[in-house]
Structures are given as structure tokens and as C-alpha cells.
């Protein structure tokens, strides 16, 4: 088991080196993409300012709590983008061109290669900016999180990333039936924008769908509540963990079913 873990860690290190070499070969694109993401992040902060120029609170959320939420939402989104977004969107091209044949023949787990072969380094820069916004908002709110809150926040962020990855990976594997699935994948990615809103801003079926079926609200609101002292019971933790385990299991099942649909480029 230990030898197998070391083998995959060495393989992942090689994939990182390849990603660094690729990014450094196109420095202009690397910098431009960071600037675009920074501008988009700035627009989200401006959006919060516009809302609170008309009201003092959204539900029980104050202005700086919502800015903190935007920071957390972007932090999770950028980490997801760094590790998984490019890989999920490229899956349909592997199927369409028949390059999936080479992945299936390699003596490593195919899903590992498909999911981790490319790393978006620019997203880490934007994740650091999100941390800066969180720290600034926390200062305005006079928050002093404990070590336990930081640990819980980190764990819940990982669960949130797992949920996003599982759902987008399921959508990406639709390409085994339709050949192209980028539109579906990017459609889900655009739903990430809902995550920057407080869950209390929504009601009824809309809130239920984006809390459980497509849990973008759950992914960002629960970690934010942990650091902002807005959780009164552990039920939200348990719901997020349960949703994470459920969608991870569904993603693995769907992947196995999808591979049976694959016909190689030579067949």
C-alpha cells in the first residue's frame, strides 16, 4: 500500500512539473487569465456594495459577513479550478479523439490520470487573493477563530471541492454518450456564482435544489458559518459531509458505467 501511494505521489509530481513547463511556455496567457479572474472577483465585491447600499442586511447576513462569504466562495472555486476544472472539461476531447485509448492502456488508475493530469497554476494566485479578502473581512467583523474552527473550515472546504468535482465529473462523463459535453460542464461551472449568495436569500424549491441536488449554496455557506460563528448546531456539518459522500459514490459508479460505453478510436 505504501509503495503504491509513493508511486502515485511521484506520478503526480511529474504531472505538476509538466503543468509548470506548459504555463511558463505561455506566460502572457498565464498573466492575462489571472487578471481576468481578478477583475471578475472585484465585480463580485462591487455587487455586494450595491446590495448593501439599499439594505442593512440580507436575512441575518451583514455586509462584511457577505464579503467574507464571497471570499470563501472564490477560495473554494479557485482551488477546484486549480486541480480539476481543465481536466473535467477536457474529458470529452479525450473521448472524441480516441486519446482515451492511451490512458486505458497505461498501468495506472485511469480516473486518476483523467482527473489530475493538468494543474491550473494561475488559480492558486487567485485563491490567495480570496484569502486576503477573507482576512480583511474577518478584521472588519472582529473575528478570532479558534484552531478547531480553522480545522473544521479546512475540512469542509475539502468536502466542498469534492462535491464540485464529483458533480462536474458526472456531467463530464456524459460525453461517453454524446461525445461532446463541454456545454454541460461549463453550465454547472457558471452555477458557482450562486454560491456567493447567503442561503437565507432563497426560499422554497430553488433553495432545496441548490442545497441538496446541486449543493452550491451548501458548499460555500457552511464553511463561512463555521468561521463567522453562525452555526448553532452540527447538523449543517453532517449534511455537507453526507452530501459529499453521496455524490462521490455516485461519481465513481457513473464513471464505471460510462467506461462500458467507450469504443476506442480503432473500433
Considering the domain boundaries, does residue 254 fall inside one?
Answer: yes
Mean pLDDT calculated for residue range 57-72: 88
Query: What was the pLDDT predicted at 1?
Result: 67
Nearest to 88, CA basis, from 158, 172, 12, 170: 172
Q: Which residues of 100-116 are buried (b: 16+ CB within 10 A; e: fewer)?
A: beebeeeeeeebebbbb
More confidently predicted of 200 and 132:
132
- pLDDT at 29 exceeding the cut of 80: no
State the greatest distance between any 2 C-alpha atoms of the chain, in Å, as a whole number. Answer: 63
Considering the domain boundaries, does residue 264 fall inside one?
Answer: no
Considering the domain boundaries, does residue 266 fall inside one?
Answer: no
Considering the domain boundaries, does residue 248 fall inside one?
Answer: yes
pLDDT-derived band of residue 115, with 50, 70 and 90 as boundaries? very high
- pLDDT at 32 exceeding the cut of 80: no
R_g of the chain, CA atoms, integer Å: 20
Considering the domain boundaries, does residue 126 fall inside one?
Answer: yes
Considering the domain boundaries, does residue 120 fall inside one?
Answer: yes
- pLDDT at 177 exceeding the cut of 90: no
Q: What residues make up the domain containing 112?
A: 2-259
Considering the domain boundaries, does residue 27 fall inside one?
Answer: yes
Considering the domain boundaries, does residue 191 fall inside one?
Answer: yes
Query: What was the pLDDT predicted at 266?
Result: 57
Query: What was the pLDDT predicted at 245?
Result: 92
Query: What was the pLDDT predicted at 232?
Result: 65
Query: What was the pLDDT predicted at 26?
Result: 67
Q: How many helices (H) and strands (E) does the chain have?
A: 13, 0
For the chain, the domain total comes to 1
- pLDDT at 218 exceeding the cut of 80: yes
Dihedral sign (CA 90, 93, 95, 100): negative
Q: What's the pLDDT tens digit per position in 147-167?
A: 888 998 999 999 999 999 999
Rounded Cα distance between 240 and 156, Å, is 8
Report the run of H or E that residue 56 belongs to, with start and end. Answer: none
Highest mean pLDDT out of 26-35, 40-49, 226-235: 40-49
Mean pLDDT calculated for residue range 93-117: 89
Torsion angles phi and psi, residue 69, rounded to 5:
-60, -40
Query: What was the pLDDT predicted at 116?
Result: 92
Query: What was the pLDDT predicted at 51?
Result: 83
* pLDDT over 70 percentage in the chain: 95
Query: What was the pLDDT predicted at 233?
Result: 67
Amino acid at each position: 500500500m505504501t509503495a503504491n501511494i509513493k508511486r502515485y505521489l511521484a506520478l503526480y509530481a511529474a504531472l505538476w512539473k509538466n503543468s509548470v513547463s506548459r504555463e511558463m511556455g505561455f506566460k502572457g496567457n498565464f498573466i492575462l487569465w489571472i487578471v481576468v479572474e481578478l477583475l471578475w472577483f472585484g465585480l463580485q465585491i462591487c455587487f455586494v456594495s450595491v446590495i448593501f447600499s439599499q439594505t442593512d442586511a440580507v436575512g441575518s447576513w451583514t455586509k462584511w459577513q457577505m464579503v467574507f462569504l464571497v471570499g470563501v466562495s472564490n477560495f473554494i472555486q479557485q482551488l477546484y479550478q486549480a486541480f480539476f476544472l481543465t481536466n473535467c472539461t477536457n474529458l470529452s476531447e479525450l473521448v472524441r479523439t480516441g486519446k482515451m485509448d492511451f490512458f486505458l492502456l497505461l498501468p495506472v488508475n485511469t480516473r486518476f490520470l483523467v482527473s489530475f493530469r493538468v494543474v491550473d497554476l494561475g488559480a492558486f494566485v487567485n485563491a490567495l487573493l480570496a484569502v486576503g479578502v477573507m482576512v480583511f473581512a474577518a478584521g472588519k467583523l472582529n473575528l478570532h477563530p479558534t484552531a478547531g474552527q480553522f480545522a473544521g473550515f479546512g475540512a469542509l472546504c475539502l468536502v466542498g471541492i469534492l462535491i464540485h468535482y464529483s458533480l462536474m465529473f458526472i456531467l463530464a462523463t456524459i460525453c461517453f454518450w454524446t461525445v461532446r459535453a463541454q456545454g454541460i460542464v461549463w453550465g454547472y461551472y457558471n452555477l458557482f456564482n450562486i454560491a456567493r449568495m447567503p442561503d437565507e436569500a432563497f426560499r422554497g424549491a430553488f433553495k432545496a435544489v441548490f442545497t441538496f441536488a446541486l449543493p452550491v449554496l451548501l458548499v460555500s455557506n457552511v464553511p463561512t458559518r463555521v468561521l463567522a460563528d453562525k452555526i448553532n448546531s452540527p447538523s449543517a456539518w453532517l449534511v455537507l459531509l453526507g452530501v459529499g459522500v453521496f455524490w462521490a459514490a455516485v461519481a465513481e459508479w457513473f464513471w464505471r458505467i460510462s467506461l462500458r460505453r467507450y469504443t476506442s478510436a480503432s473500433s
